[in-house]
Amino acid sequence: MSFKIFVDDNFHHMDETERYEQGEYDTYELAESICKSIVDEFLTSAYKDGMSANELYEQYKRFGEDPYITSEQMQVNFSAWDYAKIRSVEMCKKNNLFSKFKNIFWIKAIL
C-alpha cells in the first residue's frame, strides 16, 4: 500500500498553487506520524507563554500547514485540524501549568 502526504497552507486557504507533495510512505502509521509532526512543529513555534488553547488553535487555522493523506487502496481519515485542536489543549495545559509552578518558585525565591 502507498500513502501520499500533501500539504496545504492555511494562510492561502483553497489556493491549490500553495499545495505541495511532502512524500509517499508504505504505511498509514508512518504517514500519520509525519503529518502530526508537521502540525506539532507549527504549534511549538507559534506557542507563546500564557497562550490559551483557543488562541494557539486559531493561529494554526490562520497560518499553519494542513497536511493530509491520500491512498488509492483505502479511505484515510486523518484530520490535521482535529489533531491541532487536541494538541493545542494538551500543549497549553502543560505549558501553562509549568508557568504557574515557575512563578510560584520565583515568588518564594524572592521572599
Q: Given this model, what pLDDT does residue 22 score?
A: 97
Give the whole-angstrom CA distance, residue 14 versus residue 66: 11
Question: Helices 53-63 & 28-46, crossing angle to 10 degrees?
Answer: 110
Q: Which of 102, 99, 61, 94 is nearest to 79 (CA)?
A: 61
For 43-59, the pLDDT digits (tens) are 999 999 889 999 999 99
Average pLDDT, the chain: 86
Q: Given this model, what pLDDT does residue 106 score?
A: 41
Give the whole-angstrom CA distance, residue 53 versus residue 111: 32
| Single-letter amino acid, residue 50 | G
Total domains in the fold of the chain = 1
Question: Helices 53-63 & 80-110, crossing angle to 10 degrees?
Answer: 140
Domain that holds residue 80: 3-110
For 48-94, the pLDDT digits (tens) are 988 999 999 999 999 999 999 999 988 899 999 999 999 999 998 87
Q: Which of 5-14, 69-78, 91-100 has the lowest mean pLDDT?
A: 91-100
